[in-house]
A and B are shown apart, each in its own frame.
Chain A
């Protein structure tokens, strides 16, 4: 199993580890609820070094990515980030990723951990097939470390380490700067539903940065946060996880990612998605909460009027809302909010109802 550059730091903090996409990652340091609430109420620091980064360099970058991503990237300015999905010929989601435009001819793609190799190979192969021979596509994941600092005090803590004024950095914008002479890319973005930042640094310096941020935020009560709380935080915020809500057989329309698809332009998978737009989607991703006492988990079956009616993709106990919540695929006809359904838990049927997403929205 692969380890991030911070493995020893986690072990020293007493972390419990789990296998996530082939990586040995900290699932929790103390407990998930504490780490979750620290992020919601104060600030948390996350090791995200397992995620991938791919550099796309050259004057053909924009035209290439326009054919790869379903979203229209026209108008993206340097310093702007766009959430995108990459689809196959059938319109299935290969990955959801963020596209950083760093310069006119330099992009950084941030991929999921489990898909980074597949994404890289896809990009290389497609650039050849489509004749983009002037492009440099480079996997910079191993040399790049990534830390997320998230929570209402994230800006206050990070500002202490920066000359730049963070208040002027808008949501989904990135800057290149330095932290104690260390070159970093820093964006206001994240995966928790809180204000916060993602910081990319040289992998061999990420351990130093980790210690520095924890020390700098100690008086505010910063906590290291594991993947356990990362999962409950993203689920409350209605954010999807590749491998759960998305895979290569699921289209962007089925997960309500319509806003990431521009059918007016041509891209890989556009024909299939145009057809689906005409025909309609068979199933839809929804949020639900349990009515009966019980916690639904990923892969549990859903029943409606005694008939098979879908499957849970993610489910947990929500530490902020004190109830069992989740996301699921249901047939389109059952996807209305407030629709009641049964979820099978250990052979018994438990009532749940469809709710709007997100479950949690921070106060601005």
Chain B
């Protein structure tokens, strides 16, 4: 069973989370539900610093032994930091998807885009309803 979804962040339908750092940036990753679906994560392809992405555009790639999955930007922005630790320890995403397993930090273009995402309660419902 996956970890409860923390209430301090927003969630996308593609199972990314985004925490508002309250300084115009967000930190993003994938939910514990998502890592549990992917299981054994063995590789994370991180974007280049400075890359600009639109909301819901492909941002990173997570590979398990068997599968390759695109990770999308929960909001539009510029990549200002990536979790370098994942290069040698991709399993951090499995072990701590909401913490040590964060993937990218983005400088937001339009903070109101966060309002288009689900809060924890809505994401819980979403997983309950049709999250697969």
Contacts and interface: CB of A to CB of B under 8 A. Distances in A.
Contacts of A231: 66
B43 A28 contact: no
A277 to B, nearest CB: 38
Contacts of B20: none
Interface in A34-70: 34, 36
A297 B43 CA distance: 13
Interface in B48-70: 61, 63-66, 68
B66 A32 contact: yes
Contacts of A319: 40, 65
B66 A27 contact: yes
Contact of B87 (A33, A293, A297, A324): A293
By secondary structure, the B interface counts as strand
A232 B65 CA distance: 8
Interface residues of B, number: 12
B45 A317 contact: no
B45 A32 contact: no
B40 A32 contact: yes
Contact of B39 (A32, A295, A316, A346): A32
A294 B66 contact: no
A316 B45 contact: no
B61 A33 contact: no
A245 B56 CA distance: 37
Interface in A15-33: 27-28, 30-33
A293 B61 CA distance: 13
Contact of B63 (A34, A228, A232, A295): A295
Contacts of B64: 32
Interface string B60-88: 01011110100000000000000000010
Interface of B: 39-40, 42-43, 45, 61, 63-66, 68, 87
Interface of A: 27-28, 30-34, 36, 228, 231-232, 293-295, 297, 316-317, 319, 324, 346
